[in-house]
Structure 1
Amino acid sequence: MLIAVIGVNHRTAPLEVREKLAFTEWGMKDSLKKLMSFPGIDGCAIVSTCNRTEIYIAPMVLDTGMSSVWSFLSEKSGLDISEIKNFTFCHTLYDSIRHLFRVVSGLDSMILGETQILGQVKKAYELALEAKTTNVVLNTLFQQAITTGKRVRTETGIDQNPVSIPYAAVELAKQGLGALDGRSVLVVGAGEMSELTAVNLVANGVSSVIVSNRSFDRAVQLAEKFNGTAVKFDQLFQYMNRADIVISSTAAQHYVIKTTDMLKVMEQREGKPIMMIDIAVPRDIDPEVRKIANVTLYDVDNLQNVVDANLEVRRKAAVLAEGIIEEELDEFMRWLSTRFVVPTITALKKMGEEIKNRELVRAYNRLGELTDREKKIIGSLANSIVNQLLHNPVIKLKQYALTPEGHLYTEITQNIFNLEVEGQKPQAKSLPEKKKAAGGLDLNSSWDKGIAAMVADSRCRE
């Protein structure tokens, strides 16, 4: 059983292409079952988020499985296969496993180390389980991937330092005010950045949200999301007296909060400190405001400094994460290789034993009356010949089992000796079929040459 992934993400394709290749959660089970009806798909799972769609398959024949995925995506999107290939990436075998481990660890995300992808991959796996489209290989792969994602976050802390403007605003608020439990925030402007910042503040304990916007209806809509209060723009400074934190992000081309306004506010507050975070460009708050006593003002540059510093911390954590991923990858490959090699060795020895016993019977019949000692000598000779013939293949298979190409050597062995391995599908019998089952290997050439051709991912680049 092989492993491959074909996908599209924010680096390989524009939004209009990603939209056509995206899958909805409610329709995911039907999509998975549809893919399973295509030739060569023995197991599949689909990870689909706003930034990526990735189809993982575990086919017996790599070329057939991958061709089926291209056809499936073409049928789903209405795009030509050649066009889809221009925007997608493809990984097979070792690289496909590493890719999933990096994805679930947040190393392949737009925001390095983000945590949401871990839950998204877990959900994708659960949907595939419910649709009954996984198999032993994919089950183990996704289970270990999820474990790897959790381990990376626990051991490296890669997700502990915020690297977005809204998260940075919350971090600065915490630094200036300490715990945010019971605090109140006034949100000036009702755009996306304002909403994201408010969401993160509430998630960190802020209990009261006041929203002021030039469009009062929009202020009402945003306030309702937080069970907050909407106020008209001309009442802004009256309600500023109640706020511990002010977040401002409007589209105005001039200061909407001036120094004179804040002097009056601070007189009414009687010296009670206030933190102001200006995330607008151009700025909403006059920078001179920071000179007023008990006023702390941060702007986008201050926030970006926090983001840059935290991103550097995440980059260092990512280096540690790569090491963890390699450890987990090696462990999975040992499991996968063992899954292939042990039944194959058993089948190989069984074949040798059957041939030996059959030929001994023939020999005994031809030789006529033999003493027990003579039968024992002949039997020992037959045992010795079989064991010596199979010794090197068995030793080599065990050695190759611990390499990324181990399962390929195993499949070639199954084909060469025409083995029927318990728990695995019968291998192709004719030479052309053998070559196809081995992923297009030329069995007349050396194994290493064939393996190199196999792992070159040529089919991904056609």
Structure 2
Amino acid sequence: MVLFSLVSSHKNVDLNTVATLTTGVGALGPALVNEGPLKGLVTLSTCNRLELYGEALATDGDVDRAVDAMVATISDAADLDESFVRGSFEILRDEDAASHLFTVVTGLESAVVGEREITGQVRRALMNAREEGTASGELIRLFEAAARTARTVGTETALGERGRSIVSVALDLAEEVATTPWKEAHTLVFGTGAYAGATMAALSARGCHNVWVYSASGRAEEFTAKRGGTPVTDAELTQAMTASDVIIGCSGGSTPFSSETFPEGNHIVVDMALTRDFDPSIADLDGVELITLESVRLAAPEEANESVSAARAIVEKATREFRAHRNQQNVDDAIVALRRHTMAVLDTEMDKVRHQYGCGAQADQLEFAMRRMMHSLLHTPMVKARKLAAEGREQEFMDAIEALYDITVPEPAAEDSPEADTTPAGHDVAEQQKAS
């Protein structure tokens, strides 16, 4: 099996492209796994990235066919040109895909380096894939290794100790241009997803308690009962927007507010939704200060070099260990398959012997001798297989037993339950759009 990833993030494309691609991701679903070229699929979608992790067969062209199918599906669903979609993704395979995920989950690839919210997003991506039935055994192992790497970075380095996140940096920017202190400001939050929850907590920590919450799907009352604030209905929305000093978009609604419908007055607008809650043209209105994800990315402070270097060293070590474990797992499965094949041949021959000569002591002695001979014959191939695995050449052994004995190594079984992850959940676009 081959692991691979399609990566589109703020590192290689603009955020508008990420948002546009995201609109077509919902069409990928279980069909490509159950009936298509994929053995597994996990989708990681956040405010700054869209990453698709897949597993395909190891035969020539399987990854290419899987990528073609994914690109075509996204293109059709989002009404985009296939060449545009393909050019918006960076394709990584096996060790490179694993290394990238480990780098992402530790916050090293985030717009705000070291943010902890991404760990929760990665965890939820695997949970969603499990629920949809698209999480293959190898992808589960990959994402659980990523969770372990994030915990190691969190405990062994100072990366992210200052608690910076996209929310905190966005509110810092708002505070720089505000004329009203947080304790006196009236704030309106769009959305009730995890991103909105993180925003409510950050506002409370800054002393802002005059908070209204609006949800287009009617979840504001339930949300505010748990997190504080006052729910706003559709009929009250215009009045609340007019009275708000700060308006924060976290919902990712399908129809952003345009400059024509935006209320007059002095407002700081923080748009943290990837698919935008507010049209960029509102920045041209008198009295409006617009802060976007791009603004946050440009303003994000640098982490200390020693923390970043230490975290990258942990990622590199985790990548090597994942590769070695995967190589060993593959060759162990191949050895088991070879042993099962040879013992099945022996059992068949012994059945013939007993059928012809009976089940006496001589038959037992013959079976004992033949089994010892089989073990002796298998010893050298097994030693060689483990040596090849240590060199990253286990596929040569697997190809050999398939060519000689027509043995296909079965896919490793998925584990029943994922490793526990106590990292607080962060924000992700999919959850925002479901819950807002």
How does the TM-score come out when normalised to structure 1?
0.56
Check conservation: 1:152, 1:158, Cα contact below 8 A.
yes
Q: Percent identity?
A: 20
Q: Which residue of 2 aligns with 1:124?
A: 125
SS in 2 for 1:94: helix
1:75 equivalenced with 2:73 (yes/no)? yes
Which residue of 318, 321, 324 corresponds with 2:311?
Answer: 321
> Aligned to 1:48, which of 45, 49, 66?
45
Q: Deviation of residue 75 (structure 1)?
A: 3.0
CA contact (8 A) 1:18 1:51 kept: yes
2:29 to 21, 29, 32: 32
Superposed CA RMSD: 5.1
Change (3 A) 1:168 1:418: same
Q: Give unpaired runs (5+ residues) of structure 2.
A: 176-180, 188-198, 212-238, 249-264, 267-282, 291-298, 413-436
Which of 59, 65, 76 matches 2:56? Answer: 59
CA distance, structure 2, for counterparts of residue 360 and residue 75 of structure 1: 53
Following TM superposition, by how much is the alpha carbon of 1:126 offset from its aligned partner in structure 2, in angstroms? 1.5
Distance verdict in 2 for CA 1:410–1:322, change over 3 Å: farther
Question: What secondary structure, in the 3-state scheme, does the structure 2 residue paired with 1:32 have?
Answer: coil
Max Rg structure: 1
1:114 CA drift (Å): 1.8
Q: Give the SS at the match of 1:3.
A: strand
Change (3 A) 1:361 1:73: closer
Q: From the two aligned structures, give the one with the greater helix fraction.
A: 1
Query: SS where residue 8 of structure 1 aligns?
Result: strand
Question: What residue is the counterpart of 1:4 in the other structure?
Answer: 4
Which structure's relative contact order is higher, taking Cα pairs within 8 Å and 6+ residues apart?
2
SS at match of 2:57: coil
Q: Do the aligned residues in 2 keep the contact of 1:4 with 1:57 (CA within 8 Å)? A: yes
Supply the distance in 2 between the matched residues of 1:390 and 1:409 (Cα, whole angstroms). 17
Residue 415 (structure 1) aligned with residue 402 (structure 2): yes
CA contact (8 A) 1:341 1:397 kept: yes
Secondary structure at the counterpart of residue 207 of structure 2: coil
Contact 1:33 1:131 in 2 (8 A): yes
- The reply on whether 1:20 has 2:20 as its aligned counterpart is yes
Partner of 1:392: 380
Deviation at 1:186, TM superposition (A): 6.0
Give the Cα–Cα distance (whole angstroms) in 2 for the partners of residues 52 and 167 of structure 1.
18
Equivalent residue, structure 1, for 2:296: none
Bigger mean CA deviation after superposition, 158-167 or 13-22: 158-167
Q: What is the CA–CA distance in structure 2 between the aligned matches of 1:44 and 1:109, rounded to whole Å?
A: 22
Q: Secondary structure at the match of 2:91?
A: strand
Corresponding position of 2:432: none
- Mapping of residues 336-351 of structure 1, within 5 Å: 336-351=326-341
Q: Report the AA paired with residue 311 of structure 2.
A: A
CA distance in 1 between partners of 2:16 and 2:327 (Å)? 40
Q: How many residues align?
A: 329
Cα 1:219–1:336 change in 2 (3 A) is same
One-letter code of the match for 1:36? V
Q: Secondary structure at the match of 2:29?
A: helix
Instruction: Return the alpha-carbon distance in structure 2 between the equivalents of residues 424 and 217 of structure 1.
Output: 56
Query: Which residue in 1 is equivalent to 2:92?
Result: 91
Residues 84 and 75 of structure 1, relative CA distance in 2, 3 Å threshold: same
Following superposition, the deviation at residue 158 of structure 1 comes to 1.0
SS of equivalent residue, structure 1 residue 158: coil
CA distance in 1, matches of 2:379, 2:138: 29
Structure 2 counterpart of 1:112: 113
The 3 A distance-change label for structure 1 pair 405 and 85 is farther
- Alpha-carbon offset, residue 135 of structure 1: 1.9
Measure the CA separation in 2 of the matches of 1:65 and 1:390: 33
DSSP-derived class of the 1:143 partner: helix
Alpha carbons of 1:101 and 1:164: their partners in 2 closer, same or farther (altered >3 Å)? closer
Residues 241, 247 of structure 2: 8 Å contact kept: no
CA distance in 1, matches of 2:139, 2:167: 37
In 2: Cα distance, 1:74 partner to 1:422 partner: 30
CA distance in 2, matches of 1:72, 1:116: 27
- Cα distance in structure 2, aligned partners of 1:9 and 1:357: 56
Q: Distance in 2 between matches of 1:202 and 1:15?
A: 25
1:274-304 Cα distance to aligned partner (Å, 9 max, x none): xxxxx99xxxxxxxxxxxxxxxxxxxxxxx8
1:46 partner SS: strand
Structure 1's 410 and 100: CA in aligned 2 closer, same or farther, altered over 3 A? farther
Equivalent-residue separation in structure 2 for 1:4 and 1:165 (angstroms): 31
Contact 2:105 2:146 in 1 (8 A): yes
Structure 1's unaligned 5+ residue stretches are 174-181, 189-197, 211-215, 226-231, 234-249, 257-278, 281-303, 426-462
Query: Are 1:220 and 2:268 an aligned pair?
Result: no
Contact 2:186–2:245 under 8 Å retained in 1:
no
8 A Cα contact 1:148 1:325, kept in partner: yes
- Say whether residues 1:160 and 2:150 are aligned partners: no
Change (3 A) 1:361 1:136: closer
In structure 1, the residue corresponding to 2:52 is in which secondary structure? Answer: strand
Measure how far apart 1:44 and its partner are. Answer: 0.8
User: How far 1:148 sits from its partner (Å)?
Assistant: 1.9
- Deviation of 1:206 (Å): 1.5
Query: Do the aligned partners of 1:184 and 1:206 also contact (CA within 8 Å) in 2?
Result: yes
SS of aligned partner of 2:51: strand
Cα displacement (A) at 1:2: 2.2
Q: CA deviation at 1:101?
A: 1.0
Distance 1:70-1:49 versus aligned 2 partners, 3 A rule = farther
Q: Secondary structure at the match of 1:4?
A: strand
Q: Any residues of structure 2 matched to 1:137-286 within 5 Å, and which?
A: 137-161=138-162, 162=164, 167=169, 184=183, 202-207=203-208, 220-222=243-245
- The CA deviation string for residues 125-177 of structure 1, in whole angstroms up to 9 with x for no partner, is 12111111112221222122123223312321311234889649869x9xxxx
Whichever residue aligns with residue 184 of structure 1, its letter is K
How far did residue 109 of structure 1 move? 1.8
